[in-house]
């Protein structure tokens, strides 16, 4: 199965659809993309915008999700920014906190007010 993300004119993902491998002639990416886009445009209209996405993130950095953005320069799907202080790593297209997550095996949540990780107390 191949997965395709529909983009609006602002490059925001509005839908993710699975297309049968037979529809894309069992072609690998990137050859499969044009076959899948042609099929989806025949169903949803020739002006719709589609990009193929991968569960394994083997291309386009991340699996596309509704509300994600497609960056045509990076050729990547990018999740919404989780906090104003986080910055995008343009190599991985993942958001990074200004302070690294503690590496002590405990669970933390981000506190934007203090720009720090706060330990989650376990019951």
* Confidence tier at 82 by pLDDT (50, 70, 90): very high
**Domain with 62 in it:** 2-119
Residue 123 has pLDDT above 80, yes or no: no
* Confidence tier at 107 by pLDDT (50, 70, 90): very high
- The Cα–Cα gap between 117 and 111 comes to 6
pLDDT tens profile 11-38: 999 999 999 888 888 887 888 899 999 9
Average pLDDT, stretch 79-88?
98
Contact in structure between 40 and 24 (CB atoms under 8 Å): no
pLDDT at position 23: 87
pLDDT at position 57: 87
* Confidence tier at 1 by pLDDT (50, 70, 90): confident
How many folded domains does the chain comprise? 1
In sequence order, the 6+-apart residues with CB closer than 8 A to the CB of 59 are 29, 30, 52, 75
């Amino acid at each position: 199965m191949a997965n395709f993300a529909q983009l609006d004119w602002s490059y925001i993902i509005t839908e993710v659809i699975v297309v049968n491998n037979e529809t894309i002639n069992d072609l690998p990416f990137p050859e499969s993309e044009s076959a899948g886009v042609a099929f989806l445009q025949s169903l949803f209209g020739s002006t719709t915008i589609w990009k193929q996405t991968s569960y394994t993130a083997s291309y386009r950095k991340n699996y596309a999700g509704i509300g994600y953005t497609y960056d045509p320069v990076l050729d990547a799907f990018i999740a919404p920014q989780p906090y104003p202080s986080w910055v995008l790593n343009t190599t991985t297209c993942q958001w990074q906190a200004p302070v690294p997550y503690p590496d002590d095996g405990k669970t933390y949540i981000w506190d934007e007010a203090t720009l720090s990780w706060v330990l989650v107390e376990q019951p």
